Chains A and B, each alone.
Chain A
């Protein structure tokens, strides 16, 4: 069973025919070549597949592609404008918040969702926002520092 859906990905209009049992992550990665979004566990535990759906962070492995008809999806590819990095991405680079990098796209999208609503989050709010994103390399400390620096770039301290 197939459906035609129309939605935006990183502000670009997309029209595509999908299977009713197809996941959003598979449409993003396999059909639209947006491979920045990663699949880790496939069960909503690790957060590597996090993207924004109408501005809210969600696990794209637990959303059906048919459900995003008429909605706006934002992936990690939509953060930079290909000339310069989003300040959140730049903060991750500057603070050494990346090691292997597999969790990074999901981590960035969870943090982006937070900062879009709250540009001065507390450390507790940052930890809450990334509570669904597992990182096995960094121990999270540098990530939390990076997010708080991106939130308040004028401040030198986390």
Chain B
């Protein structure tokens, strides 16, 4: 079944980091929904699984005094969805968390695992990119804060250094009334990886961000900039200009889930749909004021 790995429960983050630094074939273990599948297939042969779920704050999600939201790296996706649901501006992360795997998977699968796998198709990655999340990385001797945009280096490769662990993810408080959307194309409604993922965030000051999954070697912030119209008054021309800019950023591949051409096409389809949903939400919220 699995290789004969040992199971380690560290007593502190520092303890976990020093263990990781001195055991290069050990792996951090949170929800297990990816790691155990890959162990079973023999694609991973860890010497130790280091379970961080019991460490301080690892599975906690809370709003800080400055309005930002701090999410422990091992927090399950269902807990994130429950916490953020109804909080304006965070819709993209709620929607991205919701479309990973199945209900059972989301009771276990963590947001930290989703991004540390560094899959180009990780659903939460585009959402974290448009929300301008920052990552708190703890290492054997110090810790650092990294913007999520600098975390993904290549498929399966992150900016984590030996012995370094993702401890938490911080979402800055979005300016009101921000709206964000995540849309995913997949072969089935549940339990499939994204063929394309599109996250869109529209700020009240006309700034717009678009991030994409599964169309480049890493999750990609494809556009961040000011548009000529506020979100509630977008025209088709505004949308088409954004689509043509974003489409030039992609470099999709053909694999078992979709062809490169289909992926390229779906970027435009999902982005137009996301703009439609976001402008509608902006209008609704504007009227509610």
A residues lining the B interface (CB < 8 Å): 1, 3, 19-21, 23, 26, 42-45, 47, 50, 56-59, 61-64, 66-67, 110, 128-133
The smallest beta-carbon distance between A76 and chain B, in angstroms, is: 15
Q: Are B3 and A132 in contact (CB under 8 A)?
A: no
Q: Which residues from chain B contact A67 at a C-beta distance below 8 Å?
A: 7, 32, 51
Residue of A nearest to B36 (CB): A62
Q: Which of B80-116 contact A (CB under 8 A)?
A: 101-105, 107-108
Q: In the complex, which of the residues B1, B32, B49, B105 contacts A132, with contact meaning CB atoms closer than 8 Å? A: B105
Contact of A44 among B6, B7, B105 (CB under 8 A): B105
Q: Which 8 A-B pairs have the closest CB atoms?
A: A132-B102, A20-B7, A131-B190, A21-B2, A132-B104, A1-B6, A56-B107, A43-B37
Query: Closest CB-CB distance, B119 to chain A, in whole Å?
Result: 15
Q: Which residues of A contact B32 (CB under 8 A)?
A: 62-64, 67
- Residue B265 lies at the interface, judged by CB distance under 8 Å to chain A: no
Knowing A3-B7, A59-B104, say if A44 contacts B190 (CB, 8 Å): no
Q: Are B7 and A131 in contact (CB under 8 A)?
A: no
- Measured CA separation A117–B4 after assembly (Å): 37
Whole-angstrom distance from the CB of A30 to the nearest CB of chain B?
11
* Chain B residues in 8 Å Cβ range of A23: 1-2, 36
Partner among A3, A50, A131 whose Cβ is within 8 Å of the Cβ of B191: A131
Instruction: Kindly state the separation between the CA atoms of A45 and B102 in the bound complex, as whole angstroms.
Output: 8
| Chain B residues, CB < 8 A from A63 | 32, 108
- Most chain B Cβ neighbours within 10 Å, of A110, A130, A131, A133: A131
Chain A residues near B103 (CB, 8 Å)? 57, 110, 128-132
Distance of A45 Cα from B51 Cα, bound (Å): 23
Q: What are 22 of the A-B contact pairs (CB < 8 Å)? A: A1-B6, A3-B7, A20-B6, A21-B4, A21-B7, A26-B1, A42-B40, A44-B33, A44-B105, A45-B191, A47-B102, A50-B104, A57-B103, A57-B104, A59-B105, A59-B108, A62-B32, A62-B36, A130-B103, A131-B103, A131-B189, A132-B105
